[in-house]
Amino acid sequence: MSSAFPLPAPSRFRGRIGRDARSGYYAAARRYRLHLALSCPDGLRIAVTHSLLGLGDTLPVTLLPAVPDAPGGGHRALRPLYEASSHAYAGPAVAPVLSDNWTGRIVSTHAPDILRDLVARFGGHGPDLRPHGVEEELEDVRRLCAEDIGEAAQRAGQADPRTDIGTGIGTGTSTGTDIGTGTGTDAAARRDAAPATLLRTLGVLERRLAFRRFMVGGHITLADVDLWVALVELDTVHRHHLDAVAVDRIADHPRLWAYARRLAAHPAFGAHLDLDGIARRHHAHCRGEEAAGAAVRIVDWDAHTGRQRPEAARRTG
C-alpha cells in the first residue's frame, strides 16, 4: 500500500464555526486550538492555511508526533478530548482536531470544514483564500487532487506490474475481491487504469500553468494549498511504489514541478514540510513493496525550503 497512513474513517465530529453567539461555536480569539500532525496531508494543508492567514496569535496550534503513538492508531494526547466529546468513545483519537478550549471538547475532525471555517471565520484580515464566485472551481481542484492524484497514485502503486503507465492498459488480471468497491475484476481494472488517470490529470494541470501562476485567479487560494500538498505526497510517498519509468513520466511536467518548488520557497508552505516525519509515518504504516521509483526523487525539497539535510549541515558547519 502506498499511502503514508491508513485511509481515514468518516469524520465523527462535524461542528462548524458560525457567525455569532447564536450559532453555539462562534469565532473568538484563542477560544479554539488546532491539533495537527504535519506528516499527515490534512494536517499539512491546515498548517499551511493557518500560516497564510496569519492566525498564530488567534488560533493556537499543538503539533503532534509524526507517527501516531496510541494502540490501534491515533494520538495519546487527543484521547482526553475524544472521551470528553463522546461518551465511552472507543475508536482511535485521530488528527486533525479543532477543539474548543472553553468546553474541552472537539468541534470538528473534518479537514475540509476546518479549512473553510479558518478562511470564513478567522481570516478576515488575511488574504482571500476562498474568493467569492469561484467556490465550485476550488472544490473541483480539491476533488481532483484527492481522487485523480492522491487515490490514483495509491492505486497505481498496486497496479499490475505489466501495466503501461503511458496508456493505463494492463496485460494481467486479478481474481481478488476488493470489498466495498465491486468485483475483483472491477477493482483490478481501476488499479490498472490508475496510472493513466494520474498522468492525464498531471497533464491537465501542466497545461493550466502555461497561462497562470496559480490554480485559480491571480493569487494563492485553497486550490494551491490542495495541489501543493498533493504534489508533496506524490513525490515523498507514492513514488516509492512506482517503477522508475513511471516516476520519470510523472516528473516530465516541468511547469507543475516548478510551481511546487516556487510554493515550497514560500514561508507559509515550506516551513511546515516535515520530510523526516512523512518518511517515518510512511514506513510505520506502509505494507507495500518498494519499487525502483524510490530512487528517482523529483524535487529536492530541502533546497527549496532553505533547509539543509543533517549530513550537509555537518559538512558545512
Q: What's the confidence (pLDDT) of residue 72?
A: 82
pTM: predicted TM-score of the whole model, two decimal places: 0.86
> β-pairing, 32-36 with 61-63?
parallel
Q: What's the confidence (pLDDT) of residue 106?
A: 97
- Residues 110, 232: Cα–Cα separation, whole Å: 21
CB 308 within 8 A of CB 267: no
Q: What's the confidence (pLDDT) of residue 11?
A: 63
Burial, 244: exposed, middle or buried (Cβ in 10 Å; 0-12, 13-18, 19+)?
Answer: middle
Q: Domain 135-305 belongs to what architecture?
A: Up-down Bundle (1.20)
Q: Which CATH superfamily is domain 21-122 in?
A: Glutaredoxin (3.40.30.10)
- Residues 134, 227: Cα–Cα separation, whole Å: 16
> β-pairing, 105-108 with 97-100?
antiparallel
**pLDDT tens track of the chain, all 317 residues?**
444 444 445 568 999 999 887 778 999 999 999 999 999 999 999 999 999 999 999 999 999 999 999 988 899 999 999 999 999 898 999 999 999 999 999 999 999 999 999 999 998 788 999 999 999 999 999 999 999 999 999 999 876 555 554 444 332 323 233 434 445 566 666 677 999 999 999 999 999 999 999 999 999 999 999 999 999 999 999 999 999 999 999 999 999 999 999 999 999 999 999 999 999 999 888 877 888 989 999 999 999 886 544 333 333 23
Query: What is the per-residue DSSP string for 147-185?
Result: IIIIIHHHHHTTS-TT-BTTTTB-S-------TTS--HH
CB 305 within 8 A of CB 273: yes
Q: Give the residue extent of every domain in the chain.
A: 21-122, 135-305
Summarize the chain as % helix, strand, coil (round to 5). Answer: 50, 5, 45
- Residues 119, 246: Cα–Cα separation, whole Å: 37
H-helix or E-strand spanning residue 100: strand 97-100
The C-alpha cell at 267 is 514561508
What angle (nearest 5°) sits at the alpha carbon of residue 283, between those of residues 193 and 291?
A: 45
- Residues 85, 91: Cα–Cα separation, whole Å: 12
